[in-house]
Amino acid sequence: MGTMVNQLMFAQDNRDRIHAVENSFGPSGKPLYAPDRVLIGEGRLMKMSRRGPQPKVFFLFNDVLVYGSIILNGRWYKKQKIIPLEDSQLEDLEDGIKMRNQWLIRTPRKSFYVAAASYEEKRAWIEHIEDCRSSLLQSGGCRPGSYFANTWIPDQASAVCMRCSDRFTVTQRRHHCRKCGFVVCGACSKKRAVIRHIHPTKCLRVCTMCHSSLTATEAPEVSRVNGGSTEQIGSDEDEVDGLSEEEEAGEQMENHDPGKWMNSQLDSWSTYVYFKPDHRQPQT
């Protein structure tokens, strides 16, 4: 009887937590509740974007990693991203000049650097993510991803095109090659290619060197190459499938109560809340 009561209490608490996360993203967020999904923990990390480090909220579930932009002083979130853990890969990194306690999260569509406020939090995030991913793969229901997107080099990292060395100006704007992640000029990124692990059908901007390499090797992740097209597919701010860089925080959103369980730990971005020891569903 005691075990059954504990199971019911855990299931209800877990359901409430997941629904609170859903509500915190407002009507634009995707549903997150699933019968076997468990919320492991949540916290804030600094995510490196093309415009520099930005604080983001991250939610770790037993099968996915969810993150989004922080608005309204950390009470509500937007631009929800969902990463299946079986399609992710982590790479531990040494401290950088601007980013301490950092590591790399690789996914097929987007790879990016994140950093925690302390070494202890960094280790907790990495260990918990890898533990959940290993459990998924060991269960036999998931297969690990094969291809991962390269990280984009931040805009401020180069004043010149990383292919032709022309200097960027107001009219000579920066672009990013979706294959190598280099900062390049418009003339060096006229080519387009379909890179299946990023998007199955859409032609994406690639630099001249990557286009030549893809054409020569006919890499398996590239389904077709649009050799001479100069068609405007979209700016770097119009990434495919909601992968755009985040807009300015502060946008107004409908008032959706995320629940009392979130309120006590959101005043500092550095706090990682780990729902231990009940982060696993009790065994029958």
Q: What is the CATH number of the domain that holds 81?
A: 2.30.29.30
Same domain, 137 and 266: yes
Contact, 222 vs 214, CB < 8 A?
yes
Q: Quick: pLDDT tens for 123-174.
A: 999 999 999 999 988 887 666 666 778 888 878 778 999 999 999 998 999 9
- Judge if 249 and 234 occupy the same domain: no
Residues 72 and 208 in one domain: no
Same domain, 205 and 186: yes
What total of structural domains would you count in the chain? 2
- Identify the pLDDT of residue 128: 95
In a domain, 283, yes or no: no
Nearest to 56 by CA among 45, 65, 48: 45
Q: What is the mean pLDDT of the chain?
A: 76
Query: Residues 124, 257: one domain?
Result: yes
Same domain for 25 and 81:
yes
Within the chain, residue ranges assigned H as helices are 2-24, 119-138, 208-217, 260-263
Same domain, 177 and 42: no
107 CB-side CA count, 13 A: 18
b/e burial code for range 58-92 (CB count within 10 A of at least 16 → b): bbbbbbbbbbbbbbeebbbbbbbbebebbbbbbee
**186: containing domain:** 155-242
Q: What CATH number is attached to the domain comprising 193?
A: 3.30.40.10
Q: 166 and 263 share a domain?
A: no
Please give the pLDDT value at position 105.
94
Query: 126 with 185, same domain?
Result: no
Mean pLDDT per 10-residue interval, the chain, length 284 residues:
74 92 92 93 88 89 95 82 93 83 91 92 94 89 71 83 92 90 92 84 90 71 46 34 33 28 38 54 39
